[in-house]
Structure 1
Amino acid sequence: MSSSVCHAPLPARMEAFTTRLCLRAVDQYERLLQAHFNKPSSKEQPSRLRHESASPKEQRRRKENPGSYSAVTAFRQWRRSTSVGSRSGSANSKLPNDPATNALDLTAPASDVLLKNRLKSWFQLSGHPDGFAPAGPGTVWKRRTGGAENTERMVYEALSKDETMRDCVPRYYREVEYKGDTFIELQDLLFGFNDPHVMDIKMGTRTFLESEVSKTAARPDLYQKMVAVDPDAPTIQEHEQRAVTKLRYMQFREQQSSTCSHGFRIEAMKLPGAPPITDLKRVKSHSEVLGTMAMFLKGRGNTREKLLERLRNLRVKFQQSTYFQTHEVIGSSIFMIYDEDKVGVWLIDFAKTYRVSDGQILTHRSGWEQGNHEEGFLFGLDNLISTIEEVDISS
């Protein structure tokens, strides 16, 4: 599973430049590893990316200290065996010939120690626990969920070939099998930022698939969940039945945040030097949304303008994309990030992005009715932009 971008032929100068960037990233990454890990665990096994042509001395070292071998080591061995910019490499290296591909193929975690503890500054802002793991310099692994069909992988593969949208989503590299689990390897959007401000914004007026609410049978368990949040929410009939349908419950849940009113909700946020704030799903009123956004922007007018420029650009490209004209986008997020030097905005999470019936074109702004597959993504993006424009920076 390789991105067409990764394997595109490069001119010699560009290839050498790409390789130098890879080496620089590895240099920085190795320093971070050395700072965070004083000594490796003797319980860990060597990486499955073992360099097959290692010298007897190197093999003895790995046997005595198995946890120390990493993708960084493999990369450095390859660097010693080939010159920068060369496509041929060493005849004994057993690695792909393309330097850029080498760098990507060596990003898999070398051991469980690295999988669980690598780069303690890395964090997962939202999503299912253990759904992500830092994989290497500039990439993360995202665990595949659901059935055999990997919808998200197919969406990323399609968007990586979409000239309109490819710069608005994380770069996709490959699918990985590791200890019985399947992951997709993506660009780490946090990489290169220094203790940034980060916000995850769930988009749309509907965050559930139509197929999820197709059953009309009333369920007691969903009634109990509803009254636990708001005892007055069920109707008289629902109280008598002590049951609600899945559709009724899902719509009730959407009404607990700004999802229905604004077409987006602030899922989570992280501020510099503090742990992620993940209890924002009940931020509902416009004043609460404005206050949370003001906390995120910290009075930075210049940063706001840069974020708005990227959001407007994303809106234009989304509207121009033929892919999204025919695909509903459920549960996707806009990921905003900035530090003292840089600003970034990406569209992420495509596990519930599906093609609609042939001939159907979505506006992404119309109200939802069963069967029309409208989810309000652009309605939410319009409101997100206007909300950020409205934030009082002076306060």
Structure 2
Amino acid sequence: MVNWSPLPVTVKKRSPWVQVVGHAGNFQTGSDGRLLKKYCECEQQCFLQLMSDSLRPFVPGYYGVTQCEEQDYNLMDDLLADFDSPCIMDCKMGSRTYLEEELRKACECPQPRKDMYEKMIAVDPDAPTEEEQAQQAVLKTRYMQWRETLSSTATLGFRIEGIKKSDGTCNTNFKRTKYKDEVIQALEDFVDNNMLILRITNNA
């Protein structure tokens, strides 16, 4: 079931959208402090559950599905709308970054991808197997599992994808940030070592 928003949606031109990582074109800046993200049913169901969950205070408000320029979008609060020069850290949460359905499809109908192979060798030229090197392609699930073991997804249950500082500098070089001390260092750098913002305890 799709919930359509009765709110009129227009795309603002005055404030450029800043995307640190992820698929380009997935977001549009809406009006009244709202954000449009390209529609995904799984994401919609997740937001609907979160709206009545104890995690509700920590996630953007969700306003259903709307349409802009003949494309469906999930409509949510833009948490950065009231900031002039925000610092942004993009994290991918969870100890696994793919769905069971994706794994099943990969087993039933393997579709090696050259773009995933290129991403893999850009980080580690020796990572592909001999078969993958011959094909110059890897399965999406294989690539994602490899990324998990390479990063803190496997060790801490989340990983840093990218950081944008208020001065506009952007860093996405966190693919090998794996261990707790490395993640803590990245967090300290993110807040310019301001311990009033970030409190780190030895038993965290």
TM class, shorter-length: 0.7 to 0.9
The one-letter code of the counterpart of 1:105 is L
Instruction: Describe how 1:14-163 pairs up with structure 2 within 5 A.
Output: 105-106=7-8, 108-109=9-10, 115=11, 117-120=13-16, 122-145=17-40, 150-162=41-53
Equivalence for 1:172: 62
Structure 1 gap segments, 5+ residues each: 4-103, 110-114, 306-387, 391-395
The one-letter code of the counterpart of 2:197 is T
Aligned residues: 196
Indicate the SS of the match to 2:170: coil
Post-superposition offset of 1:246: 5.2
Q: Distance in 2 between matches of 1:242 and 1:131?
A: 28
* Paired residues of 1:170 and 1:188 also in contact (CA < 8 A): yes
Equivalence for 1:188: 78
TM-score scaled by length of structure 2: 0.77
The one-letter code of the counterpart of 1:261 is T
Q: Distance in 2 between matches of 1:201 and 1:275?
A: 17
Q: Distance in 1 between matches of 2:150 and 2:134?
A: 23
Structure 1 residues 179, 296: closer, same or farther in 2, change over 3 A? same
TM-score scaled by length of structure 1: 0.43
Instruction: Describe how 1:290-309 pairs up with structure 2 within 5 A.
Output: 290-305=184-199
Q: Distance in 1 between matches of 2:83 and 2:136?
A: 50
Post-superposition offset of 1:286: 4.2
Q: Distance in 2 between matches of 1:238 and 1:129?
A: 27
Post-superposition offset of 1:268: 1.4
Q: Distance in 2 between matches of 1:294 and 1:169?
A: 23
The one-letter code of the counterpart of 2:170 is P
Please state if 1:389 is matched with 2:201: yes
Indicate the SS of the match to 2:24: coil
Post-superposition offset of 1:288: 3.3
1:58-108 deviation per Cα after TM superposition (whole angstroms, max 9, x unaligned): xxxxxxxxxxxxxxxxxxxxxxxxxxxxxxxxxxxxxxxxxxxxxx824x1
Post-superposition offset of 1:211: 1.9
What's the % identity of the aligned pairs? 36
Structure 1 residues 282, 116: closer, same or farther in 2, change over 3 A? farther
1:246-293 deviation per Cα after TM superposition (whole angstroms, max 9, x unaligned): 544332222232222222111111211224333433433444323221
Structure 1 residues 219, 275: closer, same or farther in 2, change over 3 A? same
Q: Distance in 2 between matches of 1:303 and 1:265?
A: 20
Higher relative contact order (CA 8 A, sep 6+): 2
Higher helix share: 1
* Paired residues of 2:162 and 2:173 also in contact (CA < 8 A): yes
